[in-house]
């Protein structure tokens, strides 16, 4: 079963963390990635640039409209994700609980099952 673990970040909360705390989060992700690779459960993980760099695109009356992001008016933004393939939802949750973000106020970790997949994975 495939699951997307999305990492939601509150930039204001991130700013309150010390350099040591930020480094610990980075190291925690590194350990997590290695473990997932070894167990054969990692499909891919990616982290995104700051939401201030996002472009919001739409088409109105057939004309493209591009404005500065982010689209969501929210305190939290999608910061990155893990796409995993594992046994079941319980295992996905067990894995997500190992992500360092889960222990930090202002960072959200969400687990959702994938419903449809197409692309490189079946090449």
By CB under 8 A, residue 46 contacts other proteins: no
- Out of 18, 46, 63, 120, the only residue in the binding site for other proteins (CB under 8 A) is 120
- What lies within 8 Å, CB to CB, of 14 at 6+ separation is 22, 106, 107
Residue 15: its H or E element: helix 11-15
| Residues near other proteins (CB under 8 A), total | 25
Whole-angstrom distance, CA of residue 31 vs CA of residue 98? 10
Of 51-110, binders to other proteins (CB under 8 A) are: 85-87, 91
- Out of 5, 25, 42, 109, the only residue in the binding site for other proteins (CB under 8 A) is 42
- Out of 38, 64, 68, 90, the only residue in the binding site for other proteins (CB under 8 A) is 38
- Out of 59, 73, 105, 116, the only residue in the binding site for other proteins (CB under 8 A) is 116
Distances (CA, A) of 52 to 25, 49, 69, 74: 22, 8, 6, 12
């Amino acid at each position: 079963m495939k699951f997307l673990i999305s990492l939601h970040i509150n930039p204001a909360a991130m700013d309150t963390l010390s350099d040591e705390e930020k480094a610990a989060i980075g190291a925690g992700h590194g350990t997590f990635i290695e473990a997932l690779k070894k167990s054969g459960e990692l499909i891919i993980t990616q982290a995104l640039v700051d939401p201030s760099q996002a472009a919001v695109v739409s088409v109105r009356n057939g004309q493209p409209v591009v404005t500065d992001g982010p689209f969501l008016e929210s305190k939290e933004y999608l910061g990155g994700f893990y796409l995993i393939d594992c046994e079941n939802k319980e295992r996905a949750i067990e894995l997500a609980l190992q992500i360092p973000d889960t222990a930090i106020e202002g960072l959200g970790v969400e687990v959702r099952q994938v419903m449809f997949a197409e692309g490189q994975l079946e090449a």
